[in-house]
Amino acid sequence: MIRVRFAPSPTGYLHLGNVRTALFNYLFAKANGGKFILRVEDTDKERSRKEYLESQKEDLLWMGLRWDEGPEVDGPYGPYLQSERLEIYRTHIQKLLDEGKAYYCYVTEQEVEEMKHLAKLERRPPHFDNRGRNFTQKEIEERKTRGVKPTVRFKIEHPELSLHDLVRGDVSFNLDEMVGDFVIQRADGMPTFHMAVVVDDAFMKITHIIRGEDHLSNTPKHILLQRALGFPTPQYGHLSLVHGPGGEPLSKRLSSVSVREFRKAGYLPYALCNYISLLGWAPPEGHEILKWDELIHEFDLMKVSKSSSNFDQDKLNWVNGEHLRLLSDQDFCRYAMTYLKIQGLLTKDEDKVHGILPIFKDNIQRFDQLPSRLEVLNDEFPYEEIHCLQTPEGREVVQAALEVLTVQAAQPALDYQAFIDGIKPKVKVKGKDLFHPLRMALTGKLNGPELKRIFPVLGMEKVKKRLEQAQKS
């Protein structure tokens, strides 16, 4: 059975880049009847925060990426927080030490830094020269008395290897040139990321590791560790990075692309997933708007491109708008109401808001446009552009509208078509020049829902009041 994992470190909020990794893992698992596992990589005590972990879980659930195993859900291979698995890592580090595949290294951090510095000056890769392997007993004792705490380093014996990456194709590495013996346990006794990842992936029976391209250089280290520990090597797929507006890779530091910000802006979660899926992948039929079930059905990891992609806010808005149009009025209201309530933006009578919401379905792209649209319910509002009400033509339109209303007042219900038909012969202007002042008088805005939909929601009284108001402007 296919088993994949998303393994965030709780050191920041989820952003579009890492949530894409989560989504691709999820979709790959679901398309193949597999399991999606959430593992929390919280061994960096200084940078990990509970608040980040909570928000990461909340964001994943909001996006619909429910994990089959992980925190709160559990499963046969838990615990799923690395901070609760330290003993398992220790046992395996010890095993490598016992078998001579790793060694205590008394080279100090300062010496390592100096080596790196020198390499930089000489324009060489920052390669560790493995000097700690050959310390004599005397040197070690001398360092111990100086209080040097050792790290544990893994010996690189077979530095050349290659792999077939599901996204990038054939890749080969020479670790000798790249890094030299690498640390698997820090001087403070904590396992490094490399050790924890390898042990967990094996224990959790992960079959496919789908992660960001930024981890590609770690993969040979992981494969060597797997071999040394007798673990199978999973299939790897490294996703290209997503670049931000300035061309830089997206990161935790860019709050504008955090999932929290997308929630605040009022995107539909599955529309956001749909947009993210298009970063590096294209649906076979070319229909880019896919409902959640369709996305699960259509997505194909093997077709994901290895070139990097760019985040395009306009396209995201377009995708979201298209999804809004696909909703029934009832579902649109339900999602919109939930959004307004959660964001604390429901400041008007709930029934009135409910009654008017469907008229915005065709003309917004995201829910954060609603509060300003809902100003149409206010009795007083500023005019976005007053000029069109003050020209002689504009005044004529408003005047004519009021006259028609007076005649229509005898009718039981306000009839929009009769209202417009009544105005037309009384004025010189038509088309945009006729509708512009009317829209401005009735809503205070240049854009928005069709007037014929606003009209019945407002009712005779309000329409009349607003026209009178505009007349005075």
Smallest gap from residue 193 Cβ to ligand GLU (A): 7
Q: What does 339-398 look like in DSSP terms, one character per residue?
A: HHHHTT---S-HHHHHHHGGGGTTT-SSGGGHHHHGGGGSSS---S--HHHHSHHHHHHH
Q: Which residues are catalytic?
A: 252
Smallest gap from residue 75 Cβ to ligand GLU (A): 18
Task: Please tell me the number of Cα atoms within 13 Å of 373 on its side-chain side.
Answer: 23
- Phi-psi sector, 64: left (phi>0), alpha (psi -120 to 50), beta: left
Of 197 and 440, which CB lies nearer to ligand GLU in the complex structure? 197
Q: What does 48-101 look like in DSSP terms, one character per residue?
A: --HHHHHHHHHHHHHTT---SBSTTT--TT---BGGG-HHHHHHHHHHHHHTTS
Two structure tokens written together for 436: 């512009």
- Rounded Cα distance between 30 and 33, Å, is 5
- Rounded Cα distance between 279 and 305, Å, is 9
Of 219 and 369, which CB lies nearer to ligand GLU in the complex structure? 219
Of 193 and 332, which CB lies nearer to ligand GLU in the complex structure? 193
Smallest gap from residue 254 Cβ to ligand GLU (A): 16
Helices (H) and strands (E) in the chain, counts: 20, 11
Of 44 and 368, which CB lies nearer to ligand GLU in the complex structure? 44
Q: In angstroms, what CA-CA distances link 25 with 38, 238, 267, 344?
A: 10, 11, 22, 33
Smallest gap from residue 383 Cβ to ligand GLU (A): 50
For residue 232, give the nearest of 212, 202, 262, 190 by alpha carbon. Answer: 202
Of 193 and 262, which CB lies nearer to ligand GLU in the complex structure? 193
Residues in contact with ligand GLU by CB under 6 A are 7-9, 41, 197, 211, 215
Instruction: Give the full edge-to-edge strand order of the sheet including 3-6.
Output: 35-38, 3-6, 208-212, 235-239
Smallest gap from residue 7 Cβ to ligand GLU (A): 4
Q: What is the DSSP letter of 227?
A: H
Of 225 and 440, which CB lies nearer to ligand GLU in the complex structure? 225
Smallest gap from residue 338 Cβ to ligand GLU (A): 30
